[in-house]
Chain A
């Protein structure tokens, strides 16, 4: 199950962060997302370490915590998508591609100022649909 999704701007500031858990760990998820940016930085700054993932937007598993796994995705405008799952393996970038498409639509809104937080409710709804469908498809 996906516990949290986040969009992080190119200055590592949060643009959108939404958790989907029932437990009281929203803050913990914020911390996890924030810490995972270190791994993103590490991978971006040392691309040869990641070897095959060069030129790949999908960064794969960033780091495992006790209860969660964190996956990352980096767009060419250096916007990062982070998802935190509860022991759900994300093997390909399919989820992220849909997420990215939703993000592109949201920032294409002429009233959206680039670099500011995403407040669009449509985007929020789309993301929650993607998260739900993904949870279902992988569970099934």
Chain B
């Protein structure tokens, strides 16, 4: 597109001219340029310049038939540029106001200037207007103005005044100027268009040349007027008329005539496409281009300059592609356009520039080949005469002429067709088409890449690569070919791949890269091209470097490459120009799981078992498959494992001489077998191997040695997880299993697990029974050897929460988890009961420990005890594993592991409970008991200054007897500060009390609160106990002989003052018929008068005297005593008459409990003997 002249590429802009008063031109011209539509200005300092520009001798264009033959053409080259830069549509002379209104000489000058101007522009119909420059305060004489109008023969509106100094009016007058210029220019271009039309009609000339020229000119005028639709229509008319000229016109020699027509057609087509695309009519533009293409594609012209046609075609595509690309930014959505007509639908690619670039490249290739042909034909006439150098473009578009210098004058001589042909060939030779083609294809390829059209892109890349190949740039070619080849491999387009590989092979040959050459050759030889779905044989010349894709060609390549690598000189020289030689350096090719060379050699490995014991032989099948067309002899096969001592070598049994030569793998297993690889037939080799090392044994690779310097290393693949062969998977071929037994083929893996040797060591965990919270639980561990020595043994101890189920690894619990600290591994006690040194016991954290075990000889044993402490009841699993090496102290030596685990439950040994009791027959009124307040319910209430009893009981919850050593209550605050005093009710234990399972031990404390408080702290019960080791319990040896302290915090109590205290007093026993006094004492502890109602119920067993019902008032801080005299009537335990006391103030009633109101009545006065009290009490408790 850049080749086209500027005036063709851009839309035309109206041209006007300013004459005189150059100082104002800049102002006006910049304004006009920014006008919408813009106007170009031709600024002339005075009238004489205009006369030079438009010479007076302007005659109307000659009729076509009068033009001399040979010099005529369709379009003049400079016509467009002339109208765009030289011929103004409007001329505007500038006059100053004093020129008009000044002295008569000046006025006369103006008049003559006007006459001259009119004389110049009238014949050309150029419009004009007058601009009068005013100065401040100036005014034009009305008469002069009229005279001027008459003189200029102008309408008043075309005489404009302009005052550059008046800033307020300046913009307004400039706008007026602009619109008047635009209007006049429009009229001029319209009139010119009309004039041409009428001339055509009037003359009725049917000369096509003239017709085309008129249409073109009118179209350009329409473009000046921005009437795009009209312009397109006219251009199309011109274009169609031009197409008809082919074959009818006889004006020029045939070759040059066609060149001219095509050049003009190209210009017209460019204009039309450009206008359509800028109008957003993409679909129309593409359709138009298609028509243009079809109407000219066949017009190839004379055979000797056919390359001109292809060049022209290429240019059409290129330019249209460029146009599409530049305008595609304005096209919103190309895809929505794809619908086309039903007749001929538009396809996706036709809307993308890439398509056009690709075709442009194709035509350019066509051009190159025809140019080469033309050159070879013209080689005979080598005399490149100088005349070709003096050929220049002539005045007409698409014509050329010879420049002849005759003295000073220069004349143009028309060319003959022969001269022109010579010129064209000489011109064509100068261009480097290949680079142009590559550039076009690159553009296309990138553009297709953006559209995600990978196949199109690949095709472009392939063409680019072939172009590089022809130019001789092998490295670029190879890089591109490689990309393309991988794409074709993916999709299985074998024929295309064959072609690309052929090029690649040739590239590597030219570059002398042996390894690549061998790789590409091998891949080609193994390609599935033989089966040929296409019955028609491919012709050879299509596939220049590769040859036809056929079985025979594969055979040829196979022989060639094996001849080369095996160093058989005879077959290596298949081609004379074979520059490839295999030197003394060994050639090594690697084939992995994704390599395209898997078709050449595929190694499938299957162990027949999945797990094997160390030192036991297991079978392994190594299967090889090749798709090469001929049988391949392998000299030596080496199977490599990750444990290198297992590697083995298979020698070809049929080549014994070779075997002797390569016996370098001493110490390795050496086998021999016939190693012949037949096409598409598995070569199955089964051998037994032994591994002494535990762990994973994996077959890594199989290395096939084929010649003295050539090896192929093939990564081993498990037969169970082997991918299909690429490319061959689409072929209809016999598929067999890599192993004889199909089951192994489906399950065989290339790796096997070698087990650890059986540990000959016993590990005992001796602990049993539940552990109790707080005690140091001992878990004995014994390691005893039964056949192995133990070197560098190490015990790993792990405590795991059973419920969580997670095995705590040291790292996880490090971070957080207070939970794990409920059970703690405290330490390890050695056999000799002494704590092991810290260097032997590396305790990593609460639930994990490491202990090193000393060297143990066969038969020895070693033991230790693990000390574990529970803080909360929790079942745990104790894992102990011993790792050792049976052979040596070496750190890297084979380790043997043995694992043991033991569940241990941690339980609470003793349950402590307590309750409060009030003193016998003394009942203080506690208001909080009557009206329980929410929230304070939990707290027990105790009366102030009264003695309450606290009974603490400890129950053995375990299955074993326990010894109780002591029980006491500890208070954090000292006695004096404490708000209440707690004291042992009796003596401490004289000797440890034995508590059998389920038994309860009770102890009484007295509590006397001394001050009122809502939260009185009582302290903590401390209980010392241990397992009763004397009873011979088998689990007792677990326990360290130390007592355990269990603590139980007593809840806080509330201390309150009771307003009333009722106490009943009566003797401890009564005697039948013997009267006694039964007193009810009511104590008022308040400052208030208390009203108390009393009632006494009769009892059958007693006779009593006193009031039954009464209401008494008790004075503050005083006591009221009611006393009854009672005579018992029956013996035994008898209920006393029931007293009911109720307080009106607190609306609380009181009734003594049954035990409190029962008294034992003896039939006779008893006779007591006192004994040792302490002894009896213990007795009674323990026997309970």
| Interface, chain A (partner B; CB < 8 A) | 9, 11-19, 24-27, 30-31, 34-35, 37-39, 42-43, 46, 49-51, 60-66, 89, 113, 115-119, 124
Contact = CB atoms under 8 A, between A and B. Distances in A.
B536 A117 contact: no
B456 A35 contact: yes
Contacts of A60: 345
A129 to B, nearest CB: 14
Contacts of B729: 115-116
A138 B80 CA distance: 49
Interface stretch (B155-163, B228-236, B488-496, B809-817): B488-496
Interface string B330-343: 00000110110000
Contacts of A14: 492-495, 533, 730
Contact of A13 (B448, B491, B499, B541): B491
B536 A46 contact: no
A50 B455 CA distance: 21
Contacts of A66: 297, 359, 362-363
Question: Quick one: which of B455, B494, B495 has the most chain A CB within 10 A?
Answer: B455
Nearest to A32: B459
B732 interface: yes
Contact of A38 (B456, B492, B730, B732): B456
30 contacts: A9-B730, A13-B493, A14-B492, A14-B494, A15-B730, A16-B533, A18-B535, A24-B541, A25-B542, A26-B536, A27-B495, A27-B496, A30-B493, A35-B459, A38-B448, A38-B454, A39-B348, A39-B349, A42-B453, A61-B345, A61-B347, A66-B297, A115-B729, A115-B730, A116-B729, A116-B732, A117-B531, A117-B730, A118-B533, A119-B531
Contact of B350 (A26, A50, A63): A63
A14 B731 CA distance: 10
A26 B538 contact: yes
Nearest to A123: B533
Contacts of A27: 495-496, 499, 538, 542-543
Contacts of B542: 24-27
A89 B345 CA distance: 11
Nearest to A128: B535
Contacts of A37: 455
The 9 A-B pairs of least Cβ separation, nearest first, read A13-B492, A38-B453, A63-B347, A24-B539, A38-B455, A49-B335, A12-B491, A63-B349, A35-B455
Contacts of B732: 113, 116-117, 119
B460 to A, nearest CB: 9
B496 A30 contact: yes
B1069 to A, nearest CB: 110
B495 A30 contact: yes
Interface in B1046-1098: none
A31 B496 contact: yes
B68 to A, nearest CB: 41
B1171 interface: no
A18 B492 contact: no
Given A38-B454, A115-B730, A116-B731, A17 B492 contact: no
Question: Quick one: which of A43, A49, A116 has the most chain B CB within 10 A?
Answer: A49
Q: DSSP class of B's interface residues: helix, strand, loop or mixed?
A: helix
B136 interface: no
Interface string B721-735: 000000001111000
A82 B535 CA distance: 18
Nearest to A39: B348
A15 B543 CA distance: 22
Nearest to A115: B730
B534 interface: yes
B533 A119 contact: yes
A86 B281 CA distance: 29
Contacts of B297: 66
A64 B350 contact: yes
Interface in B664-687: none
Nearest to B457: A38
Question: Quick one: which of B355, B363, B456 has the most chain A CB within 10 A?
Answer: B456
A29 to B, nearest CB: 10
Contacts of B495: 14, 17, 27, 30
A41 B454 CA distance: 10
A48 B596 CA distance: 39
Contact of B492 (A11, A19, A113, A124): A11
A89 B536 CA distance: 25
A15 B534 CA distance: 11
B793 to A, nearest CB: 59
B171 to A, nearest CB: 51
A17 B534 CA distance: 6
A34 B459 contact: yes
Interface string B457-496: 0110010000000000000000000000000000111111
Given A15-B730, A49-B336, A63-B349, 10 more contacts: A13-B492, A13-B730, A14-B493, A18-B533, A26-B534, A35-B456, A43-B348, A116-B731, A117-B732, A119-B533
